[in-house]
Amino acid sequence: MDSADGRTFTSFSPATREPLADIAQCGEADVERAVNAARSSFDSGAWSKLPPSERKATLLRLADLIEENIEELSLLEVADAGKTYSDCLNEDMPGVVECFRWYAEAIDKVFGKVSATSDDALSLIVREPVGVVGAVLPWNFPLAMLSWKCAPALAAGNSMVVKPAELSSLTALRFAELTREAGIPAGVFNVVPGPGSVVGQAIGMHHDIDAVAFTGSTHVGREFLRYSADSNLKAIGLELGGKSPQLVMPDMKDNLPAVAENLAVAAFANAGQNCTAGSRVLVHSSIYGELLQLLVQEAKNSWKTGDPFDPGTPMASLIDEAAKTKVLGHVTKAVADGAEVLCGAESLGTEADHNFVEAIVLGGVSPDMDVARNEIFGPVVCVIPFETEEEAIQIANDSVYGLAATVWSNDLNVAIRLSRAIKAGTVGVNGYSEGDIGTPFGGYRESGFGGRDKGLEAFDQYTELKTIWVAVGKN
């Protein structure tokens, strides 16, 4: 469908910088249309009042359709968002299918509560869909982030207005077609591609949107709190940035090659454009030298950049030229501050006409350097030595963020003590992990608040809690 004023914007391939498609560029009038469609469909009950078992059947059909189209969706995401084909086909898209199946299966099995009362009352605590839900999404995991928001929101009976990132709108548009094919009624799922400063703001400020789920930068997350305060106090769920520490304790000395391999996955997967990227490796001084060397080898041998369509390519380019400039700027500043580039230096100081950045390992980093504190969102990892467990905890928690962490120790006492001490929404023990679809995901501190993605906890963002108090008479 065209935008109200007929405007379009061009989507580019991150790997080649070539134009891919012209997409309808929505504006405020289009957000208005989408919200009206969502509101009418919600009020009509065509989706919101369906028995949960029927919404479940429709969402299971949708999951099947995503699975049938998994290659097309993967190729679209590679072309538009520059992710590797192997990641899209083997991880992101199967995750999307699983996400829709999981929430479809859950929705007819979550019950309300009956609280303890005296005989003269019956108290029911029930959950209802909030109504019209807005979702504003990032470009790094386009369809995966859409699924984390839309699967629970749709399963709960809401209608939606979804804004993908301008840099990665194609899979959301294709997904919208699949929702209709699956039988989700017209008006329930609406996509409004366009710039965040216009479309995202119009969603945030809209008086007839009841809740917004946002994944993106901490800076724009703050804007959404302002939008809510300046409009209808809509509920805001924020999943924001991170600077996740990976702590390697001295007892890992006999397993360092395996540790280094996993540390590199945490740092370089999706070219480091990952909110939970393990971008700060904190390692005990007794194993610092050896682990650093192994990590450099891993970075050089296993994380080469290449054509994202080649199934053998482990790491693709960054999303665009601005991202590359920003990432390399962080590294240049780190060098000026005294850090040492141990691999990937060939990416620095070139005016190359592409968005590729090689995997970069930085040594000689101290915890107070900017590179150890700011989110970089590229394939850059800093390695910092520590002496004691207390110091490791202190460095790990010395951050405005608190999204994720990994703890490496085979000593159960140490592993549990560290897991408890670290201020982060997800702590992996002996392996980098975001959990699975059944575990809640989100951050402490400036990594976000207002709800969790994944798990049954995600329903809290997309439902209102109601108490129904019934007076019970004697006759």
Q: In this structure, how many other beta carbons lie within 10 angstroms of the beta carbon of residue 240? A: 25
Residue carrying the six token digits 């019209």: 132
Select the residue whose beta carbon is closest to Mg ion and give its number.
Answer: 80
Whole-number Cα distances in Å, 357 to 71, 249, 343: 27, 30, 11
* Angle, vertex CA 179, rays to CA 236 and CA 154, nearest 5: 35
Residue carrying the six token digits 């540390």: 263
- Dist. CA 184–CA 154, nearest whole Å: 9
Beta pairing class for 444-445 and 401-402: antiparallel
Residue 26 annotated as catalytic: no
CA dihedral 213, 216, 217, 221 (to 10 degrees): -10
193 or 242, CB closer to Mg ion?
193
Identify residues 263-282 at the interface with ligand NAP (CB under 6 A): 275
Binding pattern for the stretch 85-124 against ligand NAP, x by CB under 6 A and - elsewhere: ----------------------------------------
Q: Which stretch binds ligand NAP (CB under 6 A): 2-10, 190-198, 341-349, 366-374?
A: 190-198
Cβ burial 40-53 (10 Å sphere, 16+ → b, else e): ebbeeebbbeeebe
Q: Which one is catalytic: 275, 298, 358, 382?
A: 275
SS3 402: strand
| Of the candidates 137, 167, 200, 142, the residue with the CA atom closest to the CA atom of residue 321 | 167
Q: Does the protein bind ligand NAP through residue 196 (CB under 6 A)?
A: yes
Q: Does the protein bind ligand NAP through residue 239 (CB under 6 A)?
A: yes
Min dist. Cβ of residue 97 to Mg ion (A): 23
For 32, the enclosing helix (H) or strand (E) is: helix 28-44
Q: Does the protein bind Mg ion through residue 80 (CB under 5 A)?
A: yes
β-partners of residue 239 are 215
297 or 433, CB closer to ligand NAP?
433
Q: Which stretch binds Mg ion (CB under 5 A): 161-169, 248-256, 287-295, 327-335?
A: 161-169
- Dist. CA 446–CA 160, nearest whole Å: 26
Min dist. Cβ of residue 194 to ligand NAP (A): 7
Q: Which amino acid is at 93?
A: M
| Of the candidates 233, 41, 205, 56, the residue with the CA atom closest to the CA atom of residue 131 | 41
247 or 275, CB closer to ligand NAP?
275
Q: Which stretch binds Mg ion (CB under 5 A): 164-172, 194-202, 224-232, 305-313?
A: 164-172
Residue 290 annotated as catalytic: no
Min dist. Cβ of residue 157 to ligand NAP (A): 24
Q: Does the protein bind Mg ion through residue 343 (CB under 5 A)?
A: no
**Which one of residues 10, 197, 232, 467 is an interface residue with ligand NAP (CB under 6 A)?**
197
**Which one of residues 15, 184, 240, 393 is an interface residue with ligand NAP (CB under 6 A)?**
240
Binding-residue total with Mg ion (CB under 5 A)? 3
448 or 450, CB closer to ligand NAP?
448
Residues that bind Mg ion (CB under 5 A): 11, 80, 167
Q: What are the catalytic residues?
A: 239, 275
